[in-house]
Amino acid sequence: MRGGRSTNSDLPTFHALSDQGSLIVLSQISRIDFAMPTNFIAPAHLPFEANYPGLSPQLLARTRQMWSARGLDLDNVWRNTIGRFRSVHVVGDWDLANDSGPVDQFFMFEQAAIWLASLNATAGAAVNSRDTRLTNPQWRALHALTFRMIEQLDAIRLLFLTGLPTPSMQIARSISEDVDMALAFVSRPKLAARFIECTTVEEANEFWRRHISGGRAFKAVSEQLYRVGLEFDQTGEYAAWRKNVKAILGTAVHSSFRTPETTAGQPPEAQSRQNSDCLYFVTLRLQEMCAYAHGLTDRFGADLEAVQRADQPASGDDLGRLTARISRITVEQLRWTLATGDAEEPTASYQMH
């Protein structure tokens, strides 16, 4: 993949916020409906497969079978999630060279993004429901945070398709921190309550310093995973890989005199690989968020099931009612990732709680 072209010259500009700035923005407008935008819906006549030229037929067939087996319409859900991204009209200039790997990774990234978008819809429904086991502040915090993450995924998608790995890595680092924060909200109701109570910049900065920065959220989540029997390996190959990736992402965030590896002087293949690696990391983190949220507490999965059983909303938008089933697909796809490091045949086992 060398670059991309836009079919819409009026695409809006993305504006990045600092983590602390995002916190205060989210906390101050936490009562707003953080819903997916509706003014960028992809054309209904566009075939789903047309978005992934050169996609592995085996991966596509396996994915369609998983969705169909759970009574889900992949094409329709894609249009109501990815199809609403502002970057949906940007088309990748794929240079596959008989290798479906880059487009396969892009496909899996969007599968994980679909789950996050459905979780955002579920959170919106759960906020107004009395039949949930997570607290109202937990769902309000998740609703706001997943909305921010959707915008970040939209930006990463655009940057990937236009061949800009460095800014995409900057956003990837922020997404990884947001995953840890979301999991902390799932397992710690008081933390979620403190988050939505922040009403000033000072309070938001203090919240970030005390509970999120310096890996504090990740440490809290790791400790809780250990308590429920899902110990995170701090010394194995995956932990070493994760540490190395986060270090690389950090170099993308902090400017230095060192010549970056992601300059235009590199061969297109190297830049494509860096783009794909960034997507792989983000995909894995979203899949982990899904699996660990279910493992941290059975209340999370119970609430997804409760929203699924609820009456269909008057708007007819039932995306939030699908998250319980999409979660099972996402966990299965995490098995593929952990078993092989890509989207090929799964050999490992993982059970949702």
pLDDT digits (tens, 9 = 90+) for 178-202: 999 999 999 999 999 999 999 898 9
Q: Could you tell me the two tokens for 94? A: 């794929």
pLDDT attached to residue 221: 77
Q: Give a yes or no: residue 156 inside a domain.
A: yes
Pick from 167, 351, 128: which is nearest to 253 by CA?
167
Q: Identify whether 180 is part of a domain.
A: yes
Per mean pLDDT, which range of 36-40, 153-157, 251-255 is the poorest? 36-40
pTM of the shown model: 0.80
Of residues 271 and 7, which shows the higher confidence score? 271
Q: Please report the pLDDT score of residue 347 as a whole number.
A: 32
Any idea which of 9-18, 146-155, 162-171 has the lowest mean pLDDT? 9-18
Three-state secondary structure call for residue 6: strand
Overall average pLDDT of the 201-224 stretch:
81
Q: Report the percent of the chain where pLDDT is more than 70.
A: 65
Lowest mean pLDDT among 42-46, 111-115, 261-265, 331-335: 261-265
Residue 188: φ, ψ to 5°: -130, 90
Listed ranges 70-74, 102-106, 129-133, 246-250; the one with the highest mean pLDDT: 70-74
Name the band, by pLDDT with cuts 50, 70 and 90, for residue 2. very low
State residue 139's pLDDT score: 97
Tens of pLDDT along 299-348?
Answer: 999 999 999 988 766 555 689 999 999 999 999 999 887 776 554 433 33
- Determine if residue 329 is left, alpha or beta; phi over 0 gives left, psi from -120 to 50 gives alpha, anything else beta: alpha
Which residues, 6 or more positions from 15, have their beta carbon under 8 angstroms from its beta carbon? none
Query: Of 88, 129, 142, 103, which Cα lies nearest the Cα of 279?
Result: 103
Q: Residue 39's pLDDT band (boundaries 50, 70, 90)?
A: very low
Tokens of residue 261, six digits: 């590896």
Residue 212 pLDDT more than 60?
yes
- The more confident residue out of 217 and 195 is 195
Sign of CA dihedral 240, 286, 325, 46: negative
What mean pLDDT is predicted for residues 23-29? 47
E strand or H helix that includes residue 4: strand 3-6
Out of 141-145, 267-271, 289-293, 296-300, least confident range:
267-271
How much is the pLDDT for 269?
Answer: 56
Q: Examine residue 49 and state whether it is found in any structural domain, yes or no.
A: no
In the 8-state DSSP scheme, what is residue 121? Answer: H
Average pLDDT of the residues of the chain: 77
Predicted pLDDT at 288 = 92
Residue 53: pLDDT band (50, 70, 90) is confident
Nearest to 325 by CA among 131, 58, 114: 114
At residue 17, the pLDDT reads 35
Q: How many CB atoms lie within 10 A of CB 67?
A: 19
In a domain, 44, yes or no: no
Total number of domains in the chain: 1
Rounded Cα distance between 223 and 231, Å, is 8
The arithmetic mean of pLDDT across residues 263-288, rounded, is 73
What would the pLDDT profile of 89-142 be if each residue is shown by its tens digit? Answer: 776 666 666 778 888 999 999 999 999 999 999 999 999 888 899 999 999 999
pLDDT tops 80 at residue 219: no
Residue 350 placed within a domain: no
Do the domain assignments include residue 300?
Answer: yes
| 37 band by pLDDT with thresholds 50, 70 and 90 | low
Beta bridge partners, 90, equal 6
Rg from Cα positions in the chain = 19
Torsion over CA of 6, 9, 14 and 15, rounded to 10 degrees?
Answer: 150
In a domain, 40, yes or no: no
Rounded Cα–Cα distance for residues 349 and 162 (Å): 36
Higher-scoring residue by pLDDT: 164, 260: 164
Residue 10 belongs to some domain of the structure: no
User: 230: domain range?
Assistant: 22-32+54-87+99-340
Give pLDDT, residue 230: 63
